[in-house]
Chain A
Amino acid sequence: MATYSIPYESMDPLTIGAADDDTKVYRDSLDLEFPDENLLAAIYPDEPDPVPNATEAARAALESPHSGPRFSDLLAGASSVAVVIDNQFRPTPASKLLPPVFDAIEAAGITDARVVCANGKVFPMSDSDIAQKLGEENLARMERMGIGFFQNEPRNAENYSYVGVSSRGTPVWLHNEVARSEVIFTIGHAQANHWGAGGGGKLILPGVVSDETVESNHCAFVPSPQTHYGAYAGPMRADIDETATMCGLSATMNVLLDTRGRVIDCIYGAHPDAHIEAINRFNDIYAYENPVAEAGPADIAVCGVFAPTDHLFFHTGWGCMSSDLVVREGGTIIYCSPSPGVSTAIGDFPGLALMDLMKPYMPPSPENYEKVLRDIHGRNIQMWAGCIWVPIYEVMTRKHLTMVTLEENLEMAADIGLDATTSLDEAFGAAMERHGPDAKVIVLPFARYQLPRNAIRMEAEEVRVLEQVRL
């Protein structure tokens, strides 16, 4: 008999990234005890120490590129620059990473510069969000340097410039403030995920492109079986990176955050190489040897939620798709996520906000998933949100999902048709009942980060053949 600690945490990403406000931090853990003979694997990553100072790590990275020119050389002679950062739902500590970027812009004598928030189709940051994300000192400096701040407005067609059509058919319109910049530079959080990876070119698509570009990419590629955890080479991520190339993305700075939300690495360099390197380093830490080949798939996965996520199951629940890779068909995924919800400038959102979009398709079944697919391609489902709930729903058509959460979420869960409880012991007991006393259990305390190593596909297929034919 052994006891396993499952993180049960919730933090405001702005808190992790920039504000260092401990009053907005909730850390807890749940203990689960079960017999050794039921254990398939318990995966606890071996994480490196955080960097002593994120600002200095960024400064060093900018002058030690993984590939391509140093940031100072990239800026030398350039007339304009766009710095693209991620939004309030990503934990990248932009306020700590921007000072050396502004130092370099100032040293290069560039006066035509802007910071653009890659909020995709998500509502823009409020004044308070902006102050936390960028930091008051950086905002004051931007004002002194004449650096404007812009957010994505995907429904305002006048704000976008047509770039072209990607190899996989995505029509691309890019935010004018980015399109008119000679140097385009992104700062983001690199992690493997269901859509291939976060960070890098993803700050361009969906970050700073139009509604049509986001929906086209997401409608076409989210449902693909080749879009999965670790699939950097999958059609979705490959289309994203090609689009970023088409848009002229010059370079990226990518931070790795540990499961406490601290910066453990910072990699700068040319697009897409630096981001690929960041994902390789991420995978070195968080990918695990898949026990399935030797011992068969798990009947039950127990997943936890940790710092660099946030208050909505919509964002914490991504590990449903990674645990899916090691749980047998008909198995159970127990997902421990407090998900307290958020209060924003435009109202309170409950912890299961946006998960309610799956309600018309409940209960999850292959037949109802077919209806989801019809509605995706009939444009009845907005895929900027569907890109998350649809894959979770698809897993639920094949596996039983039980959410362990705060009591305040139970009513909404019941209304949606999600199985939820406040007790991990109760959820585990019910799963053992379903699968019998010999059930095999895998423990993935940091499921959103963790993926089986044999799911990794890094090399995308070359599809721009016509460009070579027409040379």
Chain B
Amino acid sequence: MTVRGINGRGTAGPVGPPGDSREIKGKTTVVEVLRMFPDGEAAQLMSRLSWPCAHCGGAFHEALANAAKRHRNSPMAVLEAFRALCTPNGPSEEQIQRAAVKSTDR
């Protein structure tokens, strides 16, 4: 770990959205998605979905679709939102809201 913010931000810079060769698929792991967006966009989207995955030991093995199921979100809606990170404007509020719906929401 390195200190971020006080003695200067971390050195990781943006690498831009993944190209075709790094398309986000259901089997892409949480860590792979996080690494595609070192500026934190994927982590922020997980935060919007109320997922602690960015900090979880399971992230190294857990595929995005399985993570969606585990957190009772729609895998399709989640994939759509994460794939939208690769577009210039990122996911729309509507896409995020759709992805955030829990199957057991009361």
Contact = CB atoms under 8 A, between A and B. Distances in A.
A340 B5 contact: yes
In this complex, the interface size class of chain B, counting residues with CB under 8 Å from chain A, is 35 or more
B3 A311 contact: yes
B43 A349 contact: yes
B55 A122 contact: yes
A154 B2 contact: no
B18 interface: no
A468 interface: no
Interface stretch (B7-15, B19-27, B79-87, B90-98): B7-15
Given A342-B3, A343-B4, A359-B50, A124 B10 contact: no
A54 to B, nearest CB: 21
A340 B43 contact: no
A49 interface: no
A322 B47 CA distance: 27
Contact of A354 (B39, B52, B59): B52
Nearest to B41: A347
Contact of B38 (A348, A356, A357): A348
A353 B54 contact: yes
A154 B57 contact: yes
Interface string A153-167: 111100000000000
Interface string A351-389: 101101101100000000001001000101010110000
Given A346-B35, A348-B39, A378-B104, A24 B54 contact: no
A132 to B, nearest CB: 8
B1 A343 contact: yes
B58 A343 contact: no
B77 interface: no
B56 A123 contact: yes
Contacts of A181: none
Nearest to B32: A346
B69 interface: no
B61 to A, nearest CB: 6
Given A24-B7, A382-B52, A123 B59 contact: yes
B69 to A, nearest CB: 12
Interface in B34-51: 34-35, 37-40, 42-43, 47, 50
Interface of B: 1-7, 9-12, 31, 34-35, 37-40, 42-43, 47, 50, 52, 54-62, 71-72, 102, 104, 106
